[in-house]
Amino acid sequence: MLENYFKFLESGLPGVMTPEGVYDTNEEEPGRLGVTFSSFRIRPVRDDPQSMALWRELLAEQNPRMDEQGVISISFPKPLSASLNYILMEPDLQMSLGGSGDLLVVQRRQPT
């Protein structure tokens, strides 16, 4: 599972976005990964009452389907396709170029 952590600029409140989709590979292009995204979810990182109240204040009005844990699920009307071309594939560090030229660097988080 790929989790993308973010913070709201003004409040500093952290959240997590998790894309959902299907990955595919091609033996003829071993360094290339195709991805088709169907939806994503965002959720709060903290579940203490103060953080949850702020999360709801920031997002609930525009997201009436938010669940009790503050999770918002958004499905795309049409799946979005993308690709990654890997430059570096190490156990703790990966670098790839996206189809539009974006450089993506992913470092494995160490358990705390």
Question: What total of structural domains would you count in the chain?
Answer: 1
**Nearest alpha carbon to residue 71 among 83, 82, 55:** 55
| Residues whose CB falls within 8 Å of the CB of residue 82, separated by 6 or more in sequence, listed in order | 34, 35, 36, 37, 98, 99
Q: Is the confidence at residue 8, as pLDDT, over 90?
A: yes
**Which tens digits make up the pLDDT trace of 59-78?**
999 999 999 999 999 999 99
Does residue 105 form part of some domain?
no
Q: Which domain holds residue 37?
A: 4-86
Q: Is residue 112 part of a domain?
A: no
- The pTM (predicted TM-score) of the whole model is 0.70
Give pLDDT, residue 112: 63
| Structure token pair of residue 48 | 């203490």
**66 lies in a domain?**
yes
Q: What is the pLDDT of residue 38?
A: 94
Residue 96 in any domain: the answer is no
pLDDT band at 108 (very low <50, low <70, confident <90, very high): confident
Cβ neighbors of 11 (< 8 A, separation 6 or more) are 54, 58
Residue 18 lies in a domain: yes
pLDDT for 13-32, tens place per residue? 999 999 999 989 889 988 89
Q: In this structure, is residue 15 part of a structural domain? A: yes
Residue 3: name the closest of 21, 16, 12, 13 by CA: 16
Domain membership of residue 106 (yes or no) is no
